[in-house]
Amino acid sequence: MASAWDWMKKYKKTDPDAKTESWPPVDIGTNLVAQIMGANFLLYGPIENVKKVFPAVAMVDIMLGETAKDLGLSVLAESHPIKKLV
């Protein structure tokens, strides 16, 4: 999603640190919004980004699982991150 923003494309060209400092949080944040809205897949870019994106994705899954429990629902998936907390 963030790659479609013209202002971000321009910003990445003008700020030498944008690719390493500004871009990753924007890219991760846009994926988390899609996840919270119920997306069943995320477009996070090349596989090298997985170490940056998926800790945040797991955190959001845990938050959604806790919210489900607060609403009286249960998390059925055995591999859900909330079930890996000790």
| Contacts of 41-48 spanning 24+ positions with Cβ under 8 A | 43/1
- Tens digits of per-residue pLDDT, 13-61? 888 888 788 888 888 898 899 999 999 888 887 888 888 888 999 999 9
86 has a pLDDT exceeding 70: no
Domain coverage including residue 48? 2-84
Contact 77, 84 (CB under 8 A): no
Structural domain count of the chain: 1
Q: In the prediction, which pLDDT does 59 show?
A: 93
The alpha helices in 44-84, defined as continuous H runs, are: 50-70
Q: In the prediction, which pLDDT does 52 show?
A: 86
